[in-house]
Amino acid sequence: MSRQVLVNAAAAARMAPSSHNTQPWRFRIVGDTLELHADPRRHLSVIDGERRQLVESGGCALFNARAAVRAMGFADEVEVFPDAEDRDHLATLRVGAPIITDELDRELLRAIPLRRTNRRPFLNRPVSLADSTALIALASRPGVWFGRLDPDQKRRLGRVIDDADRTHHANPVYRAELMHWLVEPGKRRKDGIPLEERAYRLPLPLEKELVRAAPLVMVIGTAGDSPHDWLAAGESLQALLLHATLRHLAAAFLNQALEIPPLRREVMSIIGRGEHPQMVLRLGYPEQPIEHPAPRRSLEDVLLVVD
């Protein structure tokens, strides 16, 4: 019984978002636990030297697995970084006692396959303060904070993102890493970003304009800057994205400035707090849906059952 719950949890986890759609994870069912491991072969060493995005992507997968276990009627018992000797072992999830599932758990599970990164422009329709406040409350975790940007901050952030795009694209090593994960139409790859998402990190004034025009720009940050903080930030991020999906809101990421240390410090000063920004998002009501979801590796590719 708990074996099937864990298989379903891994199936939900593999749908999580990840930087460049690297899906940098491996799952193992060992006895009555599901282990979540980062896959260092899928680490983006150029933009993510510290492994922040690698662990944050793992946090997104962990959130999905936990949501699935609760939606199936069991408590989700989690130990994070259970092995001090193995930094890739991000978490171990155990199926706990039966619980009375609430509607929200079931809704979250329903949202997992519906959520998509939408890099296109959003409608000129505001996101209400009540909605953004509710999203923040639902995504909140100890040590994780959320900043909502005012128009002046958006304008300043747009400039920093523009700087980051130019710096990145002038760097051949960055371009080579990105090209490796951009997938041309017709290629049957189960990872990477479909090339038709043309707005993907183009060094055009476009991203800057998208930030300025976005109904809501949010920064997720953490009080510390350790792997524990990154995992928590990933869980919060995925909670926010799934609750946004349930409210018909779309989200896109603008993390390029956070990948260049001096620009990350500029982002900190724009938000006016000295702590650690982990994620920049714009949210709004989509003009166009994303018809073709980004691919995923199959469950067999990522799950090992150890008896």
Binding stretches for ligand FMN (CB under 6 A): 17-21, 53, 56-57, 60, 116-117, 119, 193, 200, 252-256, 294
Q: Which residues of 282-295 are buried (b: 16+ CB within 10 A; e: fewer)?
A: bbbebeeebeeebb
- When the beta carbons of 81 and 200 are compared against ligand FMN, the nearer one is 200
CB of 97 to ligand FMN, least distance (A): 31
- When the beta carbons of 53 and 132 are compared against ligand FMN, the nearer one is 53
Q: Are strands 33-38 and 25-30 parallel, antiparallel or unpaired?
A: antiparallel
CB of 35 to ligand FMN, least distance (A): 20
SS (H, E, C) 237-291: HHHHHHHHHHCCCEEEECCHHHHCHHHHHHHHHHHCCCCEEEEEEEEECECCCCC
CB of 305 to ligand FMN, least distance (A): 25
- When the beta carbons of 19 and 92 are compared against ligand FMN, the nearer one is 19
CB of 18 to ligand FMN, least distance (A): 5
CB of 22 to ligand FMN, least distance (A): 8
User: Shortest Cβ contact with ligand FMN: which residue?
Assistant: 17
- When the beta carbons of 53 and 222 are compared against ligand FMN, the nearer one is 53
- When the beta carbons of 51 and 95 are compared against ligand FMN, the nearer one is 51
Q: Are strands 74-80 and 89-98 parallel, antiparallel or unpaired?
A: antiparallel
User: Environment class of residue 144 by beta-carbon count within 10 Å: exposed (0-12), middle (13-18) or buried (19+)?
Assistant: buried
